Structure 1
């Protein structure tokens, strides 16, 4: 494959090339994949995917994985791979459409060609290319920034960033992940964007509340669904209780909150799970807050 030349995937496959992606790139969203399948089926490929050589990516400290198997691509086999910097959803859609051809009549089969082009500015670091392509032209959601931050700093010891990514991969918003792990919403897009440019701000190195957050999430799972835990209502109430605890009580706050969450009955947890706002009346958040405050009063009494 030559620079500045658009080529088809079929021609590359015939030369023994395979497709890979960066391990920290976005998770595939099923809705987007299905939308891309519909678009490709109706309109075909309108623009080429942007790629770089896997060898270059690995040499820049990025982890590359085979797109199909998810296996890490070793340096000695990297020459056989091209890495997608964008179009991950489009490529997955293309592969699924081809697989569906086995179930289709000849006239209904998908015949689209997947086309690729090397990134034109070869002087940019690949992590910077990824940022520019996916943020400037196809905006990321906040959770994607956390993945990009970790991918840009593979050798940095950043346990807080790792914990954020664990939650983001479970579909927590970046704000919810930040609140659970720091009791603040300060691990935002700005902090992650700086990390993607190699600048690690103090907020990302402060692990003071990390173990506290992990412990409280695990205890919350005993009574509440992940949907409720992700919603931020529960963690916002916990943070409120912490902020209104005197300095002399903050040292044992985590132990006390753990005991409280464990002592919530299944009946009360079910009430909180099923709480709904009322038109012209209390919101779901206020109903849950009232219930938690009532239970806390009983717990302390």
Structure 2
């Protein structure tokens, strides 16, 4: 059985230091601000941080980083650390408010499962990651996976994960947080995606629109719908023939009008 609740001071006295895990969610300033308010109100963290031994994290394929500088910690020093897997924002807020180390509580994760699996699960069922966090985490923990790399590339360009999933699957709702969690844990997913098709769409779309527009789902919704009847290559090739005047009209149209203009234009081009 694992130890009971400890304080950060207890860890320090026992010769341990705090580390984060590379690829865990990015620390969000807004979230930090909320955590500070709670810490200042109660003088302690009401929900304990959860950690695993640093050596276990490294043995499971993770890389430890310094919680403040984010510099990588050599694997051979892992035994000197514990790795926070749930509570990065609370820890950072505590450091920034100079909270007494005897009032910052934490406990060792009770599960002996792989650290990547624990990390994926805790960030799905507790304080959820943002879409970019999921995409970045999936690419870091599963770097050889083509889908993970593809989603990170689009997330880095500002694409929401809902649009990324739509582009990858040509349908909504098939690539969600559960799928990303499996990627983070190094598992394969059964989602019906097609990256060749996705890249063909993006190449065509970028001949007419910027990523800031493509990321908003107007275009992929219409293209995916028409592809059911005409095939994605025909629809994407038609997209490349869209007149610049229509492109401008779409961009200037009201939100509720954009898809209608796109669909009408593409249908006309397909019927020529």
**Structure 1 residue 296, shift from structure 2 partner:** 4.3
Which residue is equivalent to 2:249?
268
Q: Which residue of 2 aligns with 1:234?
A: 219
Structure 2 residue aligned with 1:28 = 27
The match for 2:167 is: 180
Of the three residues 131, 134, 145, the one matched with 2:120 is 131
Q: Residue 289 in 1 paired to residue 271 in 2? A: no
* CA pair 290-253 structure 1, distance change in 2 beyond 3 A: closer
Partner secondary structure for residue 290 of structure 1: helix
Judge which range, 39-48 or 70-79, deviates more.
70-79
Residues 21-60 of structure 1: pairs in structure 2 closer than 5 A: 21-23=21-23, 25-43=24-42, 44-60=44-60
Q: Take 2:106 and 2:269, find their aligned partners in 1: how far apart are those partners?
A: 62
User: What 5-or-longer segments of structure 2 have no aligned partner?
Assistant: none
Checking the alignment, whether the CA contact within 8 Å between 1:180 and 1:217 is kept in structure 2 is no
Structure 2 distance, partners of 1:160, 1:77, is 33
Is residue 153 from structure 1 mapped to residue 142 from structure 2 by the alignment? yes
1:119 aligns with 2:109: yes
TM-score of the two chains, using structure 1 as the length reference = 0.70
Compared CA separation, residues 209 and 54, structure 1 to 2 (3 A): farther
Preserved contact between residue 20 and residue 81 of structure 1 (Cα < 8 Å)? no
Q: Is the 8 A contact 2:223 2:235 kept in 1?
A: no
Measured at CA, do residues 256 and 63 of structure 1 come closer, stay the same or move farther in structure 2, by a change above 3 Å?
Answer: farther
User: Distance in 1 between the 2:94 and 2:180 partners?
Assistant: 31
What's the secondary structure of 1:260's corresponding residue? coil
C-alpha deviation, 1:3, in angstroms: 4.1
Q: Is the 8 A contact 2:20 2:88 kept in 1?
A: no
Cα contact 1:158–1:204 (8 A) shared by 2: no
Contact 1:36 1:93 in 2 (8 A): yes
The structure-2 alpha-carbon separation of the partners of 1:190 and 1:64, relative to structure 1 and needing over 3 Å to count, comes to: same
Aligned residues: 267
Instruction: Give the drift of 1:177.
Output: 0.6
The alpha-carbon deviation at position 118 of structure 1 amounts to 1.9
Distance 2:240 2:177 in 1: 30
The structural deviation recorded for 1:49 is 0.9
Quote the Cα distance in structure 1 between the aligned partners of 2:208 and 2:37: 40
> Tell me, which stretches of 5 or more residues in structure 1 are unaligned?
99-109, 276-283
CA distance in 2: counterparts of 1:3 and 1:83, whole angstroms: 15
SS of residue in 2 equivalent to 1:34: helix
2:196 is matched with 208
Q: Contact 1:181–1:213 (CA<8 Å) still a contact in 2?
A: no
Partner-residue secondary structure (3-state), 2:61: coil
CA–CA distance in 1 between the matches of 2:9 and 2:142?
31
Q: Is the 8 A contact 1:9 1:115 kept in 2?
A: no
Q: Secondary structure at the match of 1:117?
A: strand
- Taking structure 2 as the reference length, what is the TM-score of the superposition? 0.77
